[in-house]
Structure 1
Amino acid sequence: MFAVFRIVRKPLAAIAALVIVAACDGAPLGSSGPMINTRNAVPVALLVPGGSGQPGDDLIAASLENAARLAIADLGDVQIDLRVYNTAASPAQAAAVATEAVRDGAKIILGPVYAQSANAVGKAVAGRGVNVLAFSNNAAIAGGNVFVLGPTFENTANRLVRYAAAQGRNRVLTVHDNTVAGQMGRDAIAQAILAAGSTSTGIASYEFSQNGVIEAVPTIADLVRTTGTDTIFFTADTAGALPLLSQLLVENGIDPAITRFVGLTRWDIPPSTLALPGVQGGWFALPDPALQSQFGSRYQMAYGAAPLPISGLAYDGIAAIGALVKQGKADALTTTALTQGAGFAGVNGVFRLLANGTNERGLAVAEIRNNQVVVIDPAPRSFGGPGF
């Protein structure tokens, strides 16, 4: 038994063509947000975590700005005046530069990255009627003038539970670690099970340590056998408990070919995870691989390096702003305009912003087969109604 437990310039024509907006969907515009003159360049503030003193934050800042500028280049006649501000990954500085950005004329804010900073920014500019498209995936900070662009647990759980149910797998055991993220994931899975009409066969947890996983596995295996569970939904990620947890369950007699392993997080990052025996046959969700590949090639050509995964959110944010501005309406950046039902599409696929500040993203479902990622249900390219 081994243990792995770490705490831790060619325009993009195809992508540009996917920047969509419903110009005539009948939704009235005019809720909270500034009026703009679409004949002039629209000032957009990009808040990035540069200046924190952490090399990782500087890399994120550069990658986000690069992706935003690629998106602007793909907008055609739409003019965006991008103004970049460093937050130093500090909520106080984020709030200060957001206030400065609005004073400088910004009509919408793209970023920041970290949840606390995004929350501080939202509060700082709420009285000025400016909306915030944050790069966070934390649904707890969403609402009011703050929208999160990152993939949420709720969205991923809904996609996977519904897909599993369509395959006749509707008896779901939730397994989560006793952390804040694990508990948030547990709740998202529970809501998805209820929404899909599936059955929860139980909830099992473990302390976030190697010994915690080892001690919990026999109980989890017994639950699977005694409840008729056909799907185990894990909140664990590849940098934490997933490698050890999946391996030990197999060693305790749980056959993934009979009881499907499903993950709330990306199981293909890092790629070495794909070689783990315990995840073979497992399902997880990911953005449209074809669109991400196009973006990666474009970015590599422009900047000589691969984009960070988060950088696609900056492209998506600019794509949404540009699609709305292109309609030529003064109220293009109000909350009602941002939440129009047809949504938008960028390098992560189709997405739409919801009235509660979260988002819905069209995700593909993938299976790990022979150490490779195989898409078994493609990501949708449009929204057919109020939900998937």
Structure 2
Amino acid sequence: MFSVLRTARKSLGSVVLALSAMALAACQPSTGPSAPRSDTVAVALLVPSGSGQASDQLLARSIENAARLAITDLGEVKIDLRVYPTAGQAAQASAAAAQAVAEGAQVILGPVFAEEANAAGVAVAAAGVNVLSFSNNPAIAGGNVFVLGPTFDNTARRLATYAVRSGKSKIMVIHDRNAQGEAGRAAIQNGVAAAGGSVVATGGYEFSQNGIVQAIPALAAQAKSSGAQAVFLTADTAGALPLVSQLLSENGVNPTVTQYIGLTRWDIPAATLSLPGVQGGIFAMPDPSLFAQYQSRYMAAFGEQPHPVSAIAYDGIAAIGALAKQGRGMDRAALTQGAGYVGVNGIFRLLPNGTNERGLAIARIQNAAITVVEPAPRSFGGAGF
């Protein structure tokens, strides 16, 4: 599975309203199987606690905190939030989802990992309850399961559109030879085609240090001979990116001439920004100003930094609250309203196929710092759409 959320599980590095202790206390969940009031939306939050792993416990706490923070921003909208542990396991996620629906849940928010989300969706499909999972894996999307995480397709399309518009329409795809890399390659190829560009070369490397070292000279030569104006990399910061970006440059793919483009976030962890090979590279990210506000508020409320995944939980509550404020239900037609929603990651909307579309900013790394070269759109129809 190539979910960024699974990666986060393994390596945890890391609109504005005032939050008061009274407001937070007022949003504590009800307990037990009692039915929620008729003017209240019953939301089941599935989190990965109970696995025995400290990383899962931290992630679960951050997700729950974010959901409660989002509830305080809903004004008169009432949310009955009930939290169910899944231990990060599909079987437990399935049981938790079934229990939640039996106890009156109208919509399920979470779980984190793709296998869990798929199992939860199957468990409650007959009841007509939708699952808004935190996964970014489009393979599980559809039916009653939505993925809220940033998808490769959305990111690739945004970056390819910017690259073509900037005169970098001839693109080479360089990818890891693993499930994540192959999925990324396909997303990039589709994104480039949709943007009106052309993929002039494609090449991969075995996902190991030796595999990268052996493959890069030929890939660099291919990039130069193909006339590629940009190289679009699937590598991420926790994997091959540091070595791939360095060796490409050392083998003559000059990043000041050939644009380096990253399918994944190149700013997490922050130490990545100082790598020589990524200087001048571009990647997509959520609206940084909105996310910075969220971080500040989260820190003030809970005394620690939020996990990046927690922002997706906030967005899920924002969508549920927006529909409740309109007096709408949590059915597929309502969830996929074209106007979308606004969360701490910026604008987003759920698509009929179960995936999502997010408004992303384009950022460039220069001198070990980030510069936003094209801001995230604030409505659907803006740049990148």
TM-score by length of structure 1 reads 0.90
Inter-CA distance 14–277: structure 2 relative to 1 (3 Å threshold): farther
1:211-258 deviation line (CA, Å, top 9, x unaligned): 111111111111111111001000000111111111111111111011
For 1:49-128, what aligned pairs fall within 5 Å after superposition?
Answer: 49-128=48-127
Extract unaligned runs of 5+ from structure 2: 1-9, 20-34
Partner residue, 1:319: 318
Asked if the contact 1:261–1:282 (Cα under 8 Å) also holds between the matched residues in 2, the reply is yes
The number of residue pairs the alignment matches comes to 358
Q: Distance in 1 between matches of 2:240 and 2:41?
A: 45
Which residue in the other structure is 1:13 paired with?
17
Question: In the aligned structure 1, how far is the partner of 2:194 from the partner of 2:237?
Answer: 27
- Contact 2:94 2:116 (C-alpha < 8 Å) held by counterparts: yes
2:372 paired residue among 363, 369, 375: 375
Distance 1:385 1:369, change over 3 A: closer
Secondary structure in 1 aligned to 2:260? strand
Contact 2:175 2:205 in 1 (8 A): yes
Which residue of 328, 333, 345 maps to 1:336?
Answer: 333
Q: Distance in 2 between matches of 1:302 and 1:12?
A: 13
Please tell me whether the aligned partners of residues 38 and 326 of structure 1 are also in contact (alpha carbons under 8 angstroms). no
Q: Could you tell me which residue of structure 1 aligns to residue 32 of structure 2? A: none
Cα displacement (A) at 1:122: 0.4
Stretches of structure 1 that go unaligned for 5 or more consecutive residues are 1-6, 16-35
- The aligned residue for residue 32 of structure 1 is none
Q: Which runs of 4+ in 1 moved over 3 A?
A: 36-39
The answer to whether the 8 Å contact 2:44/2:82 transfers is yes
Cα displacement string for residues 60-95 of structure 1 (whole angstroms, at most 9, x for unaligned residues): 110000000000000000000000000011100100
- Please say if residues 359 and 384 of structure 2, whose CA atoms lie closer than 8 Å, have aligned partners that are also in contact: no
8 A contact 1:172–1:201 mirrored in 2: yes
- 1:348 correspondence with 2:352: no
Give the C-alpha shift of residue 13 in structure 1: 3.2
Q: How big is the shift at 1:151?
A: 0.3
Structure 2 Cα separation of the partners of residues 385 and 268 of structure 1: 24
Render the CA deviation track for 1:321-348: whole Å, top value 9, x for unaligned. 000000123xx21101100111001000
Q: Following the alignment from structure 2 to structure 1, what is the Cα–Cα distance between the partners of residues 289 and 324?
A: 27
Could you tell me which residue of structure 1 aligns to residue 254 of structure 2? 255
CA distance in 2, matches of 1:37, 1:86: 20
Quick one: which amino acid aligns to residue 155 of structure 2? T
State the partner residue of 1:27: none
Mapping of residues 129-208 of structure 1, within 5 Å: 129-208=128-207
| Distance 1:230-1:387 versus aligned 2 partners, 3 A rule | closer
1:38–1:328: 8 Å Cα contact kept in structure 2? no
Q: Structure 1, residues 272-327: CA drift from partner, whole Å, max 9, x if none?
A: 11111110000000000000000000000000001000000110000000000001
Cα offset for 1:163? 0.3
Could you tell me how far apart the structure 1 residues matched to 2:273 and 2:134 are? Answer: 27
Q: Structure 1 residue 189: deviation in Å?
A: 0.4
| Cross-structure match for 1:213 | 212
**SS at structure 2 position matched to 1:13:** coil
- Residue 379 of structure 1 aligns with an amino acid whose one-letter code is A
- How far is 1:197 from its partner? 1.4
Residues 29-81 of structure 1, C-alpha deviation per residue, up to 9 Å, x if partnerless?
xxxxxxx9996111100000000111100001100000000000000000000
SS at match of 2:96: helix
SS of equivalent residue, structure 1 residue 328 = coil
What is the one-letter code of the residue matched to 2:17? A
Q: AA paired with 1:319?
A: A
User: Who is 1:26 aligned against?
Assistant: none
Change (3 A) 1:38 1:226: farther
* Fraction of identical pairs, as percent: 60
1:363 to 352, 360, 364: 360
8 Å Cα contact 1:110-1:314 kept in structure 2: yes
Assess if the C-alpha contact under 8 Å between 1:42 and 1:81 holds in 2. yes
Shift of 1:12: 2.5
Counterpart contact for 1:341–1:386, Cα < 8 Å = no
- Name the Cα RMSD after superposition: 1.8
- State how far apart, in whole Å, the 2-side matches of 1:344 and 1:203 are: 36
Summarize deviations over 1:133-160 as a string: whole Å, max 9, x none: 0000001000000000000000000000
* Paired position in structure 2 for 1:30: none
Q: After superposition, what is the alpha-carbon deviation per residue over 1:169-197, rounded to whole angstroms, capped at 9, x for unaligned?
A: 10010000111000000000011111111
Sort the Cα spacing of 1:269 and 1:386 in 2 relative to 1 into closer, same or farther, 3 A: closer
Judged with a 3 Å threshold, the aligned counterparts in structure 2 of structure 1 residues 371 and 86 are, in CA distance, closer, same or farther, namely same
CA distance in 2, matches of 1:341, 1:280: 37
Q: 1:208 to 1:97 in 2, by over 3 A?
A: same
Cα separation, partners in 2 of 1:386 and 1:326, compared to 1, 3 Å = farther
Shift of 1:366: 0.3
- Alignment partners' CA distance in 1, 2:17 and 2:157: 31
Amino acid at match of 1:339: T
**One-letter code aligned to 2:88:** A
